[in-house]
Amino acid sequence: MGARPLQDDDAPAAACSIARSLDIVGDRWSILILRDAFRGLRRFDQIRRDLDIPKAVLADRLRKLVEAGVLARHRYQDHPPRHEYRLTAMGRELSPILVALMQWGDRWLSENGPPTVLVHEPCGTEVRMALHCTTCGEDFPPTAITSRPGPGAAALRPPTEST
Amino acid sequence: MGARPLQDDDAPAAACSIARSLDIVGDRWSILILRDAFRGLRRFDQIRRDLDIPKAVLADRLRKLVEAGVLARHRYQDHPPRHEYRLTAMGRELSPILVALMQWGDRWLSENGPPTVLVHEPCGTEVRMALHCTTCGEDFPPTAITSRPGPGAAALRPPTEST
DNA sequence: CTAGCTCGGTTCGGAATTCGAACCAAGCAT
DNA sequence: ATGCTTGGTTCGAATTCCGAACCGAGCTAG
């Protein structure tokens, strides 16, 4: 996106979308920064104060997130040129990850019930996320999942090796 | 280490389930280890080879994941006492997080389509995860979410502050 | 019986990251 | 002119990560 100069680990960073995603958001601070972005925080200092993160680390993470394309830097004032960081479409689509993290924490780590509840605005009731089958139209437990290679698996396996 | 002596940041580690979850899985290796666990890898050396992770780091992460309760150590052989690591119920429920990471990577980071596809076994079709409203019964975009304090928010806010 | 192999680690020293504190710069307010 | 705010950068110290070596219990081949 930004201009990533074609990293060392070439074409397919990893044959796994989870690993690829983690290259971008697989870091405690990055996720927390994105959480703040979803909560509407956009300015360097807002985020810094909220997370109590060292400035150097915040600057570094923001730069990387912008480079990756999940945040965009917008000039919101000219004279002392100031920028704020906003979620891009790519960034907004990270929400299922955050919601999943939140739900899991709610369920297993919150003695007194969830500290925050997400609400589906149009109807005002609570959001829940579940594994969903588009064919059945039903939700199901994690145990009902299998996997198979998808289209992107081609060209990853050197045809010799087959374990 | 052994028994964590009641950390400095006392009662509610953070007023945010995301932050709490990240205390456990907010680390690149931990997530990758859990992914392997979902894929059926259970032994130290299997995982080590698959991830190409330094042994010391793997030992450390496994210990922490067991401590946290997402993995359990099972003796699978007695004489040279050997153990394997299995997902607990708590661990299995992390799957939405992994699925969300995977879907996001599929969508934004996979030029040639998803390297792996998850399948809903009973019906054989592809799994998709979406934000879902239990009342409407419909899926919706991230922009349709608001939040409000939940039950666990009590005792967290000093009653003075209200921004 | 002894050399080598496997599995599941631990230990060690050096390299890379992170941290907190200090500093910088541009502009505004007093 | 002094200080405050925003958005950083720089620096040395502390932490964490890495890779390689080693360990120990048991098995196996010769």
Could you read off the pLDDT of B73-116 as tens digits, one per residue? 999 888 888 899 999 999 999 999 999 999 999 999 998 899 99
CA nearest A70: which of A53, A87, A50? A87
Ranges B62-66, B116-120, B152-156: which has the least confidence: B152-156
CA A33/CA A53 separation, integer angstroms: 10
- Which residues on A lie below 8 Å from B28 (Cβ)? 22, 26-27
In chain B, where does the domain assigned CATH 1.10.10.10 lie? 17-92
CA nearest A47: which of A27, A33, A29, A26? A33
pLDDT confidence bin for A34, thresholds 50/70/90: very high
Exposed e or buried b for every residue in B66-83, given b needs 16+ CB within 10 A?
A: bebebbbeeeeeeeeeeb
**Cβ contact, residue pair A121, B12, below 8 Å:** no
CA nearest B143: which of A36, A87, A116? A87
CA nearest B104: which of A86, A104, A97, A4? A97
Q: What kind of fold does domain A17-92 have according to CATH? A: Arc Repressor Mutant, subunit A (1.10.10)
- Does position B8 have pLDDT exceeding 50, yes or no? no
In chain B, the percentage of residues whose pLDDT exceeds 70 is: 86
Residue A41's CB is within 10 A of a number of other CB atoms, namely 19
The pLDDT value recorded for residue A163 is 34
**B residues 132-161 lying closer than 8 A (beta carbon) to A:** 132-136, 139-140, 142-156
Residue ranges of E strands in chain A: 71-77, 82-87, 116-120, 125-133, 145-149
The stretch A65-70 carries a mean pLDDT of: 96
Question: Quick check: B36 and B50 in contact, CB under 8 A?
Answer: yes
3-state secondary structure of A27: strand
CA A155/CA B18 separation, integer angstroms: 37
- Does position B6 have pLDDT exceeding 50, yes or no? no
- Which residues on A lie below 8 Å from B120 (Cβ)? 131, 133, 135-136, 140, 144-145
Tokens 């997080």 belong to residue:
B97
3-state secondary structure of A93: coil
Ranges A60-64, A110-114, B150-154: which has the least confidence: B150-154
